[in-house]
Amino acid sequence: MQPKKLFLLCVSALLLMAGCSPENEIQPTPESAVLRNITASAFSLVLPEGGSAELPFKVNEAAYAFNYAVGTPDCQVKLMLSGGQEPKEFYLKDVYGSQPQGTYVAVIADAGTGARYETSASIAIVHRDPDTGVESIVKSAEITFKAEIDPAGDAGKTGLPVVFMNTSDGKDITSKTEFVTGDVSIRGTETLPGLPAAKCRIRGRGNTTWTWPKKPYLVAFDEQQSVLGMPRHKRWVLLANFMDRTLMRNLVSMKVATLTSLAWTPRCVPVELVLNGVHKGSYLLIEQVRVDKDRVNISKEEGYLLELDFHYDNEFQWKERNIPFAVKYPDPDDLTLTQKTYIRDYIKEVSNAIYGSDFKDPEKGYAHYLDIDSFIDEWIVYEVMCNHELGNPGSVFFHKDKDGLLKAGPVWDFDWGVLSFYTSNGANGLVNGKAIWYARLFQDPAFKARVKERFQELLPQLETIPDYMEECRALLSKSAQLNFKMWNPADDRSQNLGQIINGDENLSFDAAIDRLKKNYNTHLQVIQRSL
């Protein structure tokens, strides 16, 4: 006997003695082993998009041998529709043997077409008679293969976290004053943690923004929640950014504010919103301006949070030298007559010092009342972003702690007219040089010198913002494609005498960002020339 044949006989004998066979080796089928049926372990199988699932099956004759090496020309296992074709939306990816003998596992994979299907098919084994070439097919009962439907739909493909907001019984959110009950859950990302469903109350919010078709919302959780890595709190806001073709005016403005010494700037994350199962587009999930150790950190006993807002729609409000003031904290229900009298008299005293003949005096003038660094940094944020709301004023906040100076901030609401040059002369001059108290403060050469000095200190960091805009472009690009299929920012003209507000509403997403960057760089140069 030849040495090679002797070697192969020895290897075969050893394998038989070990009770095993080489991997994927097809053993001869005994003549008595006849394949009559195949039994799948389930009648239906859900396939994740782009993924796969396993389906065990058995052959009636455990000793029946067949080629199950998927991908090889002689593989006998197939997925087969009732008409004999192979399905297109999913395919047989692999088959491997299992225990006990006669048990196998088919790995079925979604083809990644994005199709939503519910299709019946069978596992089939095809036998070809070596003598006649005639094929015989044995099939399992039909199995229903379903595409796994992502509750986020297309919203789950943008790369942003997905906020699922559901109201009780699917009720619409029709009021910005009356809450409805519901729950919110969040699908996070690789870097941002998600949130299991948590009970909450939901209402609309905003003034002009509430009148547009894409609505902003306020979420008040029953219990404090850490949301997307941000500190725990009950109250959160979903800004719609309806009028903003760039989707980043608020996001970039908050970034600019973090470069300053302002005590707190609302943290925020771009998200997709799915409300009662319907994708509503791209939103900015942001911390609401509230008194809290992780937000506006002032004494809850003797601190005050004030808002300057021309809408004049707060419960306790007044005008001082025609500037509208309102108390946001303490809450109206908790605000006593003593507190009302104190804070109103205090603002009058500050205003008198600012507009008095001794306003430059460090003991008698504005420096005795104002935290000047915060007022300078707040002005720089509004000015750099060309936000004229500081002069309206609208959504402008001040706060005062117990026995402390009056501080500016936090900043809020940067969508209307920001870096547009439509609502201001930002291409040629300062936007907020005469806003509220600043018109008077800039009459002090020492104040103006401090503003100029501080601006120069911040300028190297401010010059990095266009790079940040590019980061935001990449982050928001897929979200923007979906968002602007649903919403037309140019509809903001309904609130502006038929004219668009920012001037980029009819541009493409990319063209609008290019314009935003150009305007930003232009206005940085304007500020340097003007101070």
pLDDT reading at 272 higher than 60? yes
The mean pLDDT value for 445-453 works out to 98
What pLDDT, on a 0 to 100 scale, did the predictor assign at position 49? 85
Query: What does DSSP assign to residue 129?
Result: -
Residue 244: how many other CB atoms lie within 10 Å: 27
Q: Exposed (0-12), middle (13-18) or buried (19+): which is 109, by Cβ within 10 Å?
A: middle
Strand spans (E) along 98-229: 103-110, 118-128, 135-139, 143-147, 162-167, 180-187, 195-204, 217-227
Residues 313-368 have pLDDT tens digits of 888 999 999 999 999 999 989 999 999 999 999 999 999 999 999 999 999 999 99
- Which residue type is seen at 466? P
Tell me which H or E stretch contains 53. strand 52-59
For 146-183, letters b (16+ CB in 10 Å) and e give ebeeeebbebbbbebbbbbbbbeeeeebeebeebbebb
Q: Say how far residue 496 (Cα) sits from the centre of its chain.
A: 29
Query: Does residue 111 sit in helix, strand or coil?
Result: coil
Virtual CA dihedral for 473, 231, 261, 320, nearest 10 degrees?
100
CATH class given for the domain over 26-147: mainly beta
What pLDDT, on a 0 to 100 scale, did the predictor assign at position 29? 52
Residues 378-406 have pLDDT tens digits of 999 999 999 999 999 999 999 999 999 99
pLDDT reading at 521 higher than 80? yes
Residues 89-123 have pLDDT tens digits of 999 999 999 999 999 999 999 998 888 899 999 99
Query: What does DSSP assign to residue 29?
Result: P
What pLDDT, on a 0 to 100 scale, did the predictor assign at position 15? 34
pLDDT reading at 16 higher than 90? no
Query: What is the band of 25 on the pLDDT scale with cuts at 50, 70, 90?
Result: very low
Percentage of the chain exceeding pLDDT 90: 86
DSSP 286-316: EE---BSTTSB---TTT-EEEEE-TT--SSS
- Which residue type is seen at 476? L
pTM: 0.83
What pLDDT, on a 0 to 100 scale, did the predictor assign at position 32? 57
The mean pLDDT value for 499-505 works out to 96
What pLDDT, on a 0 to 100 scale, did the predictor assign at position 11? 35
pLDDT reading at 5 higher than 80? no
Alpha carbon distance 479, 156 (integer Å): 10
pLDDT reading at 30 higher than 70? no
The pLDDT mean for the chain works out to 92
Residues 208-233 have pLDDT tens digits of 999 999 999 999 999 999 999 999 99
What pLDDT, on a 0 to 100 scale, did the predictor assign at position 116? 86
DSSP 440-503: HHTTSHHHHHHHHHHHHHHHHHHTTHHHHHHHHHHHHHHHHHHHHHH--GGGGGGGTTTS-SSS
pLDDT reading at 254 higher than 80? yes
What pLDDT, on a 0 to 100 scale, did the predictor assign at position 296? 98
pLDDT reading at 149 higher than 90? no
Q: What stretch(es) of the chain map to CATH 2.60.40.10?
A: 26-147
What pLDDT, on a 0 to 100 scale, did the predictor assign at position 227? 98
